[in-house]
């Protein structure tokens, strides 16, 4: 029996490695998004700074594991077999849950997931004990509900405080520096640098290193007892140093971003490490106690030893730091989570990862009307002055592809550090994940990044992320409740099977992620280049290239889909029709994205060509939409006809359809080639072909309709044949019209 528990312990530590990898992938947004969004340094340098912070934080952490040992449940009332079932179930659930969030690119809290997993597992075993085992203590004696309530409270408190302070502080900072901040630096950089550096250093000392081995040193206790004086001295020293750096032409903002990124990474590794290895170390401690004192009876040995506090060994913590560093550098899913935060806070036009919802639309309307109401009571001179100070047309970015400037990145890191340190000092249960994310959202709102055309998308995204936080608690509790109970009742067989499931899940997830990220999507790269440029002339050239390629590929896809539909229908190939129908549905999504891109890209062009370009851009995208729906109206009835095994077309009509469909695909292919090349010398010839092929299709349709009227017979197959002819004529017209629109769009021709 003891050997089986040893194997179970090895499985728990193996799961801990997986947990470190998926956990860091999600928590990376806490300390990377500001530096990445502002392009303060190259991505490799940002990773190096963060990795260094992680290793230092993990190596010098005291690794107090109280939350896993007795923070949620009262271990003196649980037997060794029950404790191990809880720990195994919790690790299994945590790995899968965090990996799911990473796959969707949603930041969540590892603290909440771990607390509610432990709560769910302990809740399940407590209920089982109360109802199945006589003389079991009451539920209140088994479970520590205080911790769960404090975490729930932390959600609301973190969101409200961080967002409010982010908005207010960024608004004031922007009034001081403006968006053309380099011209205003000489007046305020000293004070701003002093406040930022002192806040971050204070955060490192009293939050990042609070739980480290340094906390026991006399000098650290002295600093802690004189924290106010330390903060004042730091502020004065860094104010003078920042002003000196400005005179020496050193970039103070970059230094703030670098040390801020390091500090958040250090605090994450030093304090959140318990979320990942607390359970395995508690399991190890339980196993050691059982081996020495259990007497071989896991169902009769109470885990009183877990009531005592314990710290992780330095070599285990350092090894965990190395694993976290490796995960941070190699994880593609970490980049997805970072991108979510960056895109939601990007200045101006950005690729919107989220749609809209009624709540977001209502909030936008309410916010707009509220803002107008208060604006009426501000003196006109104040309003004009503030608008001039917050003129984002003078935005100064470190890089063309940056999402926001260094000022906002510095405020994000400085304010997040200050709020977390203050929360720790006042013993408020603030969440690092929530604070950093909501500060970034608040500063982006204050910076006018949420304009009339983007606000509803940004708010929808923020609501989705916040909803994900609540879902984390629910999913963690519910999943752990059932998994821990299943592990306890199913024993080692179920435990090993679930471990195999986790390995399979991670391999499958990794394979899909590599497949998704294989190569670079040229269309996405073109679009991001348009968004990142600040030159209207360059934007116009990029827009031409992007939509010429997009329209050309749409015509290529239309040719392929039409060919597959006709072949599938004539040959009764149900699988081909189903595949084609699925591809058409995917193209509908692509068309909606293309329309959204058109609205965003048109704003990047210079005003002299905006009207003409935008008109043809909208016309072209509408035409693309019509082509896809033409294909859908052909494919869907053909699929239903074959799937229901209806009477096929007559031999004559099959032969007739087989005789002319290749003319259609050849014509669409020539349209695509013309659009791709941007060479319209043969445009008139193409137009003549369109008229001839269209007239031929119309003549065939009229002939069939006359035949039906004479014989007064119209089977389902005949009606379907007429539908194919009708939609084919429309497909020809739309393909030709898209070619015409592309010709005018590229030529910037105002003629009709």
Tell me: do 228 and 332 sit in the same domain: yes
From CA 190, how far away is CA 185, in angstroms rounded? Answer: 8
Q: Is the pLDDT of residue 351 over 60?
A: no
Tell me, what's the pLDDT at 480? 94
Tell me: do 486 and 550 sit in the same domain: no
Between 549 and 751, name the one with better pLDDT: 549
Tell me: do 505 and 612 sit in the same domain: no
| Distance of alpha carbon 675 from the chain centroid | 35
**Band (579; pLDDT cuts 50, 70, 90):** very high
Tell me, what's the pLDDT at 457? 78
290 falls within a domain = yes
Tell me: do 31 and 104 sit in the same domain: yes
Q: Per the structure block, which two tokens stand in for 626?
A: 């019509």
Question: What pLDDT digit, counting tens, does each position of 704-746 carry?
Answer: 887 766 555 557 788 888 899 999 999 999 999 999 999 888 8
Write the CA distances from 112 to 117, 280, 462, 578, integer angstroms. 8, 18, 18, 43
Question: What pLDDT digit, counting tens, does each position of 441-488 carry?
Answer: 889 888 888 877 677 878 888 888 888 888 888 899 999 999 999 999
Tell me: do 291 and 357 sit in the same domain: yes
**Band (233; pLDDT cuts 50, 70, 90):** very high
The DSSP code sequence of 194-230 is: HHHHHHHHHHIIIIISTTBGGGGSHHHHHHHHTHHHH
Between 111 and 98, name the one with better pLDDT: 98
**According to DSSP H, which parts of 644-682 are helical?**
651-677
Q: Is the pLDDT of residue 105 over 80?
A: no
Please state the domain count of the chain.
Answer: 2
Closest CA to 255 of 414, 363, 400: 414
Summarize the confidence of residues 323-350 as an average pLDDT.
75
Question: What pLDDT digit, counting tens, does each position of 519-567 carry?
Answer: 446 777 777 777 767 677 777 888 888 888 889 999 999 999 999 999 9
Report the mean per-residue pLDDT for the chain. Answer: 83
Tell me, what's the pLDDT at 239? 93
Tell me, what's the pLDDT at 93? 93
Tell me: do 491 and 528 sit in the same domain: no
Q: Is the pLDDT of residue 38 over 90?
A: no
Which among 462, 485, 514 is the end of a domain?
A: 514
Task: Judge residue 618's burial from the number of C-beta atoms within 10 Å of its C-beta, 0-12 exposed, 13-18 middle, 19 or more buried.
Answer: middle
Question: What pLDDT digit, counting tens, does each position of 44-74 carry?
Answer: 888 888 888 888 877 766 555 677 787 788 8
Tell me, what's the pLDDT at 355? 62
Tell me, what's the pLDDT at 750? 41
From CA 699, how far away is CA 692, in angstroms rounded? Answer: 11
Expressed in percent and rounded to 5, the helix, strand and coil fractions of the chain are 80, 0, 15
Which among 463, 496, 514 is the end of a domain?
A: 514
748 near 613, Cβ under 8 Å? yes
Tell me: do 139 and 29 sit in the same domain: yes
173 near 439, Cβ under 8 Å? no
Share of the chain above pLDDT 90, in %: 20
Tell me: do 488 and 577 sit in the same domain: no
From CA 21, how far away is CA 330, in angstroms rounded? Answer: 9
Which among 465, 495, 514 is the end of a domain?
A: 514
Residues written for the chain: 752
Between 517 and 570, name the one with better pLDDT: 570
Tell me, what's the pLDDT at 583? 92
Bridge partners for 73 per DSSP? 143
Tell me, what's the pLDDT at 308? 83
Share of the chain above pLDDT 70, in %: 88
The DSSP code sequence of 259-300 is: HHHHHHHHHHHHHTHHHHHHHHHHHHHHHHHHHHHSTT-TTT
Q: Is the pLDDT of residue 633 over 70?
A: yes
Tell me, what's the pLDDT at 104? 76
631 falls within a domain = yes
Domain that holds residue 439: 2-514
188 falls within a domain = yes
Summarize the confidence of residues 314-338 as an average pLDDT.
77
Tell me, what's the pLDDT at 751? 37
From CA 78, how far away is CA 720, in angstroms rounded? Answer: 70
Tell me, what's the pLDDT at 29? 67
From CA 637, how far away is CA 651, in angstroms rounded? Answer: 19
Tell me: do 608 and 461 sit in the same domain: no
138 falls within a domain = yes
pTM: 0.74
457 falls within a domain = yes
752 falls within a domain = no
Tell me: do 372 and 489 sit in the same domain: yes
From CA 641, how far away is CA 644, in angstroms rounded? Answer: 5
Say which range, 179-193, 270-284, 596-610, 697-711, has the weakest mean pLDDT.
596-610
101 near 472, Cβ under 8 Å? yes
CATH number of the domain enclosing 602: 1.20.58.220
Tell me: do 192 and 317 sit in the same domain: yes
Tell me: do 464 and 570 sit in the same domain: no
């Amino acid at each position: 029996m003891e050997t089986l528990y040893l194997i179970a312990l090895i499985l728990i530590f193996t799961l801990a490695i997986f947990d470190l990898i998926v956990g860091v992938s999600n928590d990376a947004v806490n300390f990377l998004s500001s530096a990445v969004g502002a392009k303060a340094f190259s991505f490799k340098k940002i990773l190096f700074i963060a990795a260094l912070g992680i290793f230092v934080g993990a190596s010098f952490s005291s690794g107090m594991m109280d939350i896993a040992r007795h923070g949620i449940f009262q271990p003196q009332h649980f037997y060794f077999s029950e404790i191990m079932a809880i720990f195994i179930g919790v690790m299994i659930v945590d790995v899968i849950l965090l990996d799911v969030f990473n796959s969707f690119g949603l930041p969540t809290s590892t603290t909440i997931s771990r607390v509610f997993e432990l709560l769910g597992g302990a809740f399940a075993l407590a209920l089982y004990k109360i109802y199945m085992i006589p003389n079991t203590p009451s539920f209140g004696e088994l479970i520590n509900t205080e911790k769960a309530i404090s975490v729930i409270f932390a959600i609301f408190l973190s969101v409200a405080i961080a967002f409010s302070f982010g908005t207010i502080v960024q608004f004031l900072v922007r009034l001081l520096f403006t968006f053309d901040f380099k011209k205003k630096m000489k007046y305020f950089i000293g004070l701003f640098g002093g406040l930022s550096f002192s806040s971050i250093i204070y955060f490192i000392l009293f939050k990042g290193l609070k739980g480290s081995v340094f906390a026991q040193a006399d000098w650290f206790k002295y600093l802690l007892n004189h924290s106010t004086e330390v903060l004042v001295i730091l502020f004065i020293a860094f104010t003078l140093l920042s002003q000196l750096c400005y005179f020496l032409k050193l970039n103070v903002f970059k230094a703030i971003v670098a040390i801020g990124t390091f500090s958040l990474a250090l605090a994450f590794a030093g304090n959140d490490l318990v979320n990942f290895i607390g359970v395995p170390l508690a399991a190890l401690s339980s196993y050691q106690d059982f081996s020495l004192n259990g007497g071989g009876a896991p169902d009769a040995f109470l885990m009183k030893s877990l009531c005592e506090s314990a710290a992780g060994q330095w070599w285990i913590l350092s090894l965990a730091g190395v694993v976290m560093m490796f995960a941070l550098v190699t994880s593609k899913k970490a980049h997805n989570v970072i991108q979510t935060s960056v895109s939601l806070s990007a200045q101006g036009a950005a690729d919107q990862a989220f749609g809209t919802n009624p709540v977001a639309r209502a909030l936008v309307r309410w916010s707009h009307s509220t803002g107008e109401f208060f604006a009426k009571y501000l003196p006109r001179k104040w309003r004009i002055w503030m608008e001039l100070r917050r003129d984002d047309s003078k935005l100064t970015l470190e890089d063309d592809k940056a999402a926001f400037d260094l000022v906002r990145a510095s405020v994000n890191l400085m304010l997040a550090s200050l709020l977390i340190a203050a929360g720790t000092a006042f013993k408020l249960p603030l969440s690092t994940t929530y604070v950093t994310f909501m500060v970034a959202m608040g500063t982006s709102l204050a910076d006018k990044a949420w304009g009339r055309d983007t606000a509803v998308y940004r708010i929808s995204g923020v609501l989705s992320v916040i909803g994900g936080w609540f879902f984390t608690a629910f999913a963690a509790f519910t999943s752990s409740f059932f998994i821990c109970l299943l592990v306890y009742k199913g024993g080692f067989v179920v435990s090993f099977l679930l471990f195999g499931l986790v390995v399979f899940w991670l391999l499958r997830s990794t394979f899909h992620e590599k497949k998704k990220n294989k190569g670079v999507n040229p269309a996405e790269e073109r679009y991001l280049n348009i968004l990142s440029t600040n030159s209207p002339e360059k934007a116009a050239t990029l827009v031409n290239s992007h939509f010429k390629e997009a329209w050309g590929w749409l015509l290529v896809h239309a040719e392929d889909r039409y060919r597959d539909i006709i072949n599938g229908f004539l040959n009764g190939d149900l699988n081909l029709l189903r595949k084609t129908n699925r591809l058409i549905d995917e193209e509908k999504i692509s068309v909606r994205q293309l329309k959204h891109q058109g609205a965003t890209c048109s704003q990047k062009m210079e005003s002299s060509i905006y009207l003409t370009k935008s008109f043809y851009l909208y016309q072209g995208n509408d035409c693309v939409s019509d082509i896809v729906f033409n294909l859908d109206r052909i494919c869907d009835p053909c699929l239903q006809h074959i799937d229901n095994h209806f009477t096929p077309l007559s031999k004559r009509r099959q032969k007739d359809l087989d005789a002319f469909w290749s003319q259609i695909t050849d014509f669409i292919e020539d349209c695509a080639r013309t659009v791709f090349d941007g060479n319209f010398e043969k445009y008139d010839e193409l137009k003549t072909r369109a008229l001839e092929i269209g007239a031929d299709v119309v003549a065939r349709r009229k002939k069939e309709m006359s035949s039906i009227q004479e014989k007064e017979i119209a089977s389902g197959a005949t009606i379907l044949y007429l539908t194919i002819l009708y939609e084919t004529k429309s497909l020809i017209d739309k393909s030709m019209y898209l070619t015409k629109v592309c010709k005018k769009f590229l030529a910037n021709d105002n003629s009709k």
